[in-house]
């Protein structure tokens, strides 16, 4: 085993992972039925969790960055990478009914389709990508490159002029879910 972090980093990684897994399970998203319900647009639990996490996280992270406590690291990307990779991911997401985070939660929940098929598939699929990478690297993965662009830099406006409207839109979407009984 090649250990790539200090003991302290590993300790906190484990603690945060346990909390994340606990929350995912309490949210119901370690279950195939809940995730497939979201993709069939009959159960909006997944979006409710994701959007309230994004709302809370976005406000806190940008306040902390404003006070110099943290430095955010938006990932670089491109249309070829994120849109095409995202669509492939989506097809797999619906077939498996778990994602890379929730499959770990599904394993903890005792779900054997996650342990004996999904997990093997994700690891093998990741390994296949490593094999295919040289063929894709300087071709499709760089098409429509936008680097580590963020929405405030895209629109060339102060970040709070993006954060506050996004927060409001998320709040209104969640409000609408509740009003319509979704």
Partner 1 sequence: MSWLMEVQWSPYAVGIGIGILSWFTWLISSKPIGCSTSFAKTAGLIEKLFRGNKVDDRPYYQEVKPGVDWQWVFVAGIIGGAAASSLLSGDFSWQWVPSVWEQNFGDNVLPRLATALAGGLLLGFGSRWAGGCTSGHGISGTMQLAVSGWISAICFFIGGIIMAQLLFTVIA
**Positions in 94-133 near partner 1 (CB under 8 A):** 94-97, 99-114, 116-133
Which residues are within 8 A (CB) of 99 and not within 5 positions of it... i.e. 6 or more apart? 35, 93
In angstroms, what is the minimal distance from the CB of 164 to partner 1?
Answer: 12
Nearer to partner 1, 69 or 179 (CB): 69
Phi/psi of residue 32, nearest 5 degrees: -50, -45
How far is residue 29's CA from residue 38's CA, in Å, rounded to a whole number? Answer: 10
Nearer to partner 1, 162 or 179 (CB): 162
**Positions in 5-24 near partner 1 (CB under 8 A):** 5, 9-10, 12-24
Site membership for partner 1, residue 174 (CB under 8 A): yes
Q: Of 97, 122, 116, 16, whose CA–CA distance to 107 is shortest?
A: 116
Site membership for partner 1, residue 175 (CB under 8 A): no
* Cβ proximity of 141 and 60 under 8 Å: no
Extract the tokens encoding 175: 């409000």
Site size with partner 1, rule: CB under 8 A: 126
**Positions in 59-88 near partner 1 (CB under 8 A):** 60-61, 64, 69-77, 79, 81-88
């Amino acid at each position: 085993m090649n250990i790539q972090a200090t003991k302290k980093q590993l300790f906190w990684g484990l603690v945060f992972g346990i909390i994340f897994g606990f929350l995912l399970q309490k949210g119901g998203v370690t279950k195939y039925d809940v995730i497939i319900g979201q993709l069939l647009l009959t159960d909006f639990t997944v979006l409710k969790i994701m959007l309230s996490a994004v709302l809370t996280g976005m406000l806190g992270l940008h306040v902390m960055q404003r006070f110099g406590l943290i430095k955010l690291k938006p990932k670089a990307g491109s249309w070829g990478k994120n849109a095409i990779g995202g669509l492939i991911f989506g097809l797999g997401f619906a077939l498996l009914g778990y994602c890379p985070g929730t499959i770990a939660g599904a394993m903890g929940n005792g779900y054997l389709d996650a342990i004996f098929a999904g997990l093997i598939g994700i690891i093998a699929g990741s390994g296949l990508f490593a094999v295919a990478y040289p063929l894709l690297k300087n071709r499709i993965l760089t098409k429509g490159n936008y680097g580590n662009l963020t929405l405030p830099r895209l629109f060339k406006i102060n970040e709070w002029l993006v954060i506050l409207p996004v927060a409001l839109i998320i709040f209104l979407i969640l409000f609408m879910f509740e009003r319509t009984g979704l």
